Amino acid sequence: MGVMSYGSLGAGFLSGRYRTRPDWPEDDFRFTFYDYFNEPKFSKGQKMLAVMDEIAAEHGVPVGQVAINWNIQCGLVDTAILGASKVRHAEENCASTLWCLSEEEMARLEKALEEFEA
């Protein structure tokens, strides 16, 4: 039996797309389905994205590839469902399989995740 993750990029949050809280209508389902678009999780998520930004820069890749790599390397997930609204998003998602996070980078991400969840 395997595990397939849904929302591997968190509705775009883990792609780095949202650096300020989205200006969606207050009744938008994403504010309830994905509670990290609300405070205090939104600010905590920005701190986690800062760590992901550093790792992405070290590899010269988009930040979303860091999220995908963590997702498939964390040992909990066998495959990840990834949506794409543009061809380049699909290409970037596929390119994330061409490299791997180091143990040190995984540890940095785990620490950032612990701080996010605290």
Q: Is the model's pLDDT at 69 over the cut of 90?
A: yes
The pLDDT, as a whole number, for residue 116 is 92
Task: Record the pTM.
Answer: 0.91
Instruction: Give residue-wise pLDDT tens across range 20-68.
Output: 999 999 999 989 899 999 999 999 999 999 999 999 999 999 999 999 9
Q: Is the model's pLDDT at 77 over the cut of 90?
A: no
Domain positions in the chain: 4-18+25-117
Q: Is the model's pLDDT at 6 over the cut of 90?
A: no
Query: Cα torsion for 10, 12, 13, 15, to the nearest 10°?
Result: 110
Residue 73: which residues within 8 A CB-CB, separation 6 or more? 100, 101, 106
Structure tokens at 4: 């397939």
The CA–CA distances, whole Å, from 13 to 2, 10, 43, 102 equal: 25, 5, 12, 23
The CA–CA distances, whole Å, from 56 to 3, 35, 43, 69 equal: 26, 25, 20, 11
C-alpha 71/C-alpha 67 separation (Å) is: 6
Q: Is the model's pLDDT at 78 over the cut of 90?
A: no
C-alpha 43/C-alpha 118 separation (Å) is: 13
